[in-house]
């Protein structure tokens, strides 16, 4: 141990001992980054009205409350449906856009790219009240269609960025070779290019799903009536009091995220994906 | 076919390819650009329905609005500053690790990044409350004697926001540091630079593009942040986005809300524009043009 502390840690011969503060600090911050995500899990199994850690008595009371509440179940169904549909809408049109912009070397490509990533830069509240206004006119306020379109809008920048990055690392000559051998462009894309960038496409799809599933501010404005999302109901509940049911729901959301992250790790291990 | 024909064909082909982005562009136009354009228009309509600047005048004359803008700026700046102070050393630490260990750390950074913002905000609400974990531990460790109020105020808001924004800073900073050729540091050391000097004159300047890109992202996202200050601020930290929401939910005043929205958007665009003169923005967004 002492030897390790005295051994050089970098090219400049700083020893591990001199860097000890950095190691301690960094590990501490990493722990602090992760803990809040997981702390809700044990708390959700507490029997107490007040969230305590560690819980004195364990129970499934808050899960029973969640699964027994038609309101929460309805919201959960809405959130999953919206997330799934957002994935189905945003991924293809985002991938098409990324491919189109990558292959077409017209001068407006840059402007189009900037436009496609603006949803990420515009404050969410503004997107939300804008969409609220537009949906009143289009008469799709509080509908699943409206919710999915708005969430797809948020997901598109991610899809375009992730897929675009993968396309940059992909050799377009492969596709050109297929085309010079007689394949139409769509076929060359579908059979040659798409398999090469599939990891980025899968990552994009997962990110689209999560974008919709986690989104609060837009859902606050344009989901309601029969279609409030889980996050909308959670946010309203949070404003009122610290309801332990939220801990149970949070646990389920963390599990969904972790599951998707593991999926991304499995399918994302690659050279080309973003 | 002659050369002009070929060129025309190629141009058509490129137009067709460009057209593939039209569904996505349409979506952005219909759901974002046109509605925001309308908000811009509404912000110039007064209570009596005619053109007026009253929505903007109110922002200047009423002190409460000045305070809201100041709070927004203050919270964003503090969050960005704390993120830099915490995130830069962490990114540096990760960049010095062997790839396998660094990837493990990366997962620890990405996991909260992927987790719902609402869940993380809720977790902090629970951790920081009066009889929460932080207070209990601090008391048993003897840091303070009685439960203190850490949440429903500026401190709670900052803690939550820093936690949520840190990955946005760490990821680009770490990316930039990984890309630095270690031979430069070795060369500096060879030429007699002390470790401190080698770091500040060689490593740090090379890492600043990533750091700036991350800090810019954090600052811009903070400017328009809503959920975390609304939950952790307990009504004491009022940011512009919260005022916009209350203008619509409570007062149904679209003019006032739109004007605030326009100012927020202009501020955001302004920050990005100024920054784009110093930083390569594509680094923050992961790339773009060719």
The CATH number assigned to the domain holding B195 equals: 1.10.3720.10
B112 shares contact with chain A (CB less than 8 Å): yes
Residue B174 lies in a domain: yes
CA distance B67 to B52: 24
CA distance B118 to A216: 8
Residue B268 lies in a domain: yes
Lowest average pLDDT, out of B149-163, B200-214, B268-282, goes to B268-282
Is the pLDDT confidence value at A146 over 90? yes
A2-33 tens-digit pLDDT: 788 878 777 777 888 888 899 999 999 999 99
Write the CA distances from B195 to B59, B90, B167, B188, B243, integer angstroms.
Answer: 51, 18, 28, 9, 49
Could you say which DSSP state residue B51 is in?
A: B
Closest CA of chain A from B149, distance in Å: 16
In chain B, the number of structural domains is 1
Write the CA distances from A215 to A12, A83, A226, B189, integer angstroms.
Answer: 46, 10, 18, 49
Residue B288 lies in a domain: no
In the predicted model, what is the mean pLDDT of chain B? 89
Residue B194 lies in a domain: yes
A179-221 tens-digit pLDDT: 889 888 889 999 999 998 998 999 999 999 999 999 999 999 9
Is the pLDDT confidence value at B260 over 70? yes
Residue B86 lies in a domain: yes
If you average pLDDT over residues A131-156, what whole number do you get? 94
If you average pLDDT over residues A263-270, what whole number do you get? 72
ipTM metric: 0.88
CA distance A91 to A207: 9
Write the CA distances from A167 to A133, B140, B289, B290, integer angstroms.
Answer: 36, 55, 12, 11
Beta bridge partners of B60: none
Lowest average pLDDT, out of A53-57, B152-156, B246-250, goes to A53-57
For residues A126 and A61, the answer to whether their CB atoms sit within 8 Å is no
Is the pLDDT confidence value at B285 over 70? no
Residue A145: which pLDDT band, with cuts at 50, 70 and 90?
A: very high
Domain that residue B205 falls in: 69-279
CA distance A164 to A113: 10
Is the pLDDT confidence value at A272 over 50? no
Is the pLDDT confidence value at B33 over 60? yes
For residue B239, the model assigns a pLDDT of 94
For residues B125 and A38, the answer to whether their CB atoms sit within 8 Å is no
Is the pLDDT confidence value at A96 over 60? yes
In the predicted model, what is the mean pLDDT of chain A? 88
Could you say which DSSP state residue B235 is in?
A: T
For residue B287, the model assigns a pLDDT of 40
CA distance A63 to A169: 46
Residue A273: which pLDDT band, with cuts at 50, 70 and 90?
A: very low
Residue of A18, A19, A22, A26 to mutate when probing chain B, most B C-beta within 10 A: A26
Percent of chain B past pLDDT 70, that is, above it, reads 96
User: If you write DSSP's letter for every residue of chain A in order, what string do you get?
Assistant: -HHHHHSB-STT--BTTTTHHHHHHHHHHHHHHHHHHHTHHHHHTB-SSS--SS-SSB--HHHHHHHH-HHHHHHHHHHHHHHHHHHHHHHHHHHHHHHHHHH---TTHHHHHHHHHHHHHS-HHHHHHHHHHHHHHHT-TTSHHHHHHHHHHHHHHHHHHHHHHHHHTS-HHHHHHHHHTT--HHHHIIIIIHHHTHHHHHHHHHHHHHHHHH--HHHHHH--TT---HHHHHHHHHHH---HHHHHHHHHHHHHHHHHHHHHHHHH-SSS--
Contact criterion met (CB < 8 Å) for B290 and A116: no
Please name each of the domains of chain A with its CATH number.
1-32 (no CATH), 62-268 (1.10.3720.10)
Closest CA of chain A from B62, distance in Å: 22
Is the pLDDT confidence value at A84 over 80? yes
Is the pLDDT confidence value at B65 over 50? yes
Q: CA neighbours within 13 Å on the CB side: how many for B114? A: 27
Is the pLDDT confidence value at B49 over 70? yes
Backbone phi, then psi, for A161, in 5-degree steps?
Answer: -70, -50
For residue A48, the model assigns a pLDDT of 81
Residue of B21, B253, B284 to mutate when probing chain A, most A C-beta within 10 A: B21
For residue B282, the model assigns a pLDDT of 59
Nearest by CB to B227, from A126, A210, A217: name it: A217
For residue B10, the model assigns a pLDDT of 85
* Cis preceding linkage at A54, omega within 30: yes
Beta bridge partners of A8: A15
Q: Residue B76 CB: number of other CB atoms within 10 A? A: 23
B201 token code pair: 């004159």
By C-alpha distance, which of B118, B116, B96 is closest to B182? B96
Contact criterion met (CB < 8 Å) for B114 and A274: no
The pTM assigned to this predicted structure is 0.89
B23 token code pair: 């569904």
For residue B269, the model assigns a pLDDT of 92
CA distance B233 to A83: 29
For residue A268, the model assigns a pLDDT of 65
CA B268 centroid distance within chain: 10
CA distance A20 to B93: 11
Looking at beta carbons, which residues of chain A come within 8 Å of B112?
Answer: 33-34, 36-37
Residue B151 lies in a domain: yes
Please indicate whether residue B268 or residue B60 has the higher confidence score (pLDDT).
B268
For residue A105, the model assigns a pLDDT of 81
Q: Report the residue of chain B nearest A251, measured CA to CA.
A: B119
A30-63 tens-digit pLDDT: 999 998 888 888 888 888 877 777 778 888 989 9
Is the pLDDT confidence value at B69 over 60? yes
For residue A212, the model assigns a pLDDT of 95
Question: Apex CA B240: angle with CA B238 and CA B244, to 5°?
Answer: 105
User: B91-124 burial by CB neighbour count: b if 16+ within 10 A, else e?
Assistant: bbbbbbeeeeeeeebbebbbbbbbbbbbbbbbbb
CA distance B91 to B167: 10
B30 shares contact with chain A (CB less than 8 Å): yes
Lowest average pLDDT, out of A108-112, A238-242, B124-128, B203-207, goes to A238-242
């Amino acid at each position: 141990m002492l030897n390790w502390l005295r051994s050089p840690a970098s090219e400049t011969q700083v020893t591990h001992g001199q860097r000890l503060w950095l190691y301690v600090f960094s590990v501490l911050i990493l722990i602090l980054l992760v803990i809040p995500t997981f702390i809700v899990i044990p708390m959700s199994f507490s029997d107490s009205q007040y969230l305590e850690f560690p819980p004195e008595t364990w129970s499934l009371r808050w899960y029973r409350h969640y699964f027994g509440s038609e309101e929460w179940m309805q919201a959960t169904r809405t959130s999953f449906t919206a997330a799934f549909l957002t994935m189905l809408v945003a991924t293809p049109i985002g991938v098409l856009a990324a491919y189109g912009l990558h292959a077409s070397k017209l001068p407006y490509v840059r402007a189009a790219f900037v436009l496609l990533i603006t949803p990420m830069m515009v404050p969410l509240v503004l997107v939300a009240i804008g969409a609220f206004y537009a949906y009143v006119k289009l008469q799709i306020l509080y509908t699943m269609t409206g919710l999915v379109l708005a969430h797809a809008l948020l997901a598109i920048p991610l899809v375009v960025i992730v897929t675009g990055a993968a396309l940059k690392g992909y050799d377009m000559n492969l596709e050109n070779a297929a085309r010079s051998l007689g394949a139409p462009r769509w076929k060359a894309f579908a059979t040659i290019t798409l398999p090469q960038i599939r990891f980025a496409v899968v990552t994009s799809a997962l990110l689209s799903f999560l974008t919709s599933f986690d989104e609060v501010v837009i859902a606050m404005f344009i989901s309601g009536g029969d279609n409030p999302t889980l996050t909308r109901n959670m946010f309203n509940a949070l404003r009122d009091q610290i309801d332990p049911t939220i801990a149970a729901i949070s646990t389920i959301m963390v599990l969904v995220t972790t599951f998707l992250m593991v999926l991304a790790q499995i399918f994302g291990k690659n050279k080309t994906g973003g | 076919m002659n050369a002009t024909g070929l060129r025309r064909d190629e141009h058509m082909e490129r137009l067709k390819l460009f057209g593939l982005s039209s569904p996505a562009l349409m979506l952005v136009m219909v759901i974002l650009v046109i509605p925001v354009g309308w908000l811009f228009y509404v912000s110039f309509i007064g209570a009596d329905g005619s053109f007026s600047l009253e929505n903007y005048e109110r922002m200047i004359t009423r002190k409460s609005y000045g305070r809201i803008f100041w709070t927004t700026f203050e919270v964003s700046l503090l969050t960005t500053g704390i993120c830099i102070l915490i995130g830069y050393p962490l990114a540096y630490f990760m960049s010095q690790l062997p790839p396998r260990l660094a990837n493990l750390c990366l997962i620890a950074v990405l996991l909260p990044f992927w987790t719902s913002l609402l869940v993380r905000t809720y977790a902090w609400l629970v951790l920081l409350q009066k009889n929460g974990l932080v207070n209990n531990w601090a008391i048993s460790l003897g840091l303070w004697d009685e439960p203190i109020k850490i949440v429903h105020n500026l401190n709670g808001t900052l803690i939550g926001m820093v936690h949520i924004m840190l990955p946005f800073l760490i990821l680009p900073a770490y990316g930039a540091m990984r890309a630095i050729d270690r031979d430069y540091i070795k060369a500096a050391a060879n030429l007699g630079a002390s470790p401190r000097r080698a770091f500040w004159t060689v490593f740090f300047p090379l890492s600043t593009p990533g750091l700036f890109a991350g800090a810019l992202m954090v600052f811009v996202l903070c400017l328009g942040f809503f959920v975390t200050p609304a939950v952790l601020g307990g009504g004491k930290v009022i940011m512009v986005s919260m005022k916009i929401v209350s203008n619509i939910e409570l007062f149904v005043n679209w003019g006032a809300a739109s004007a605030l929205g326009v100012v927020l958007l202009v501020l955001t665009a302004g920050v990005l524009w100024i920054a784009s003169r110093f930083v390569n923005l594509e680094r923050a967004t992961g790339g773009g043009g060719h």
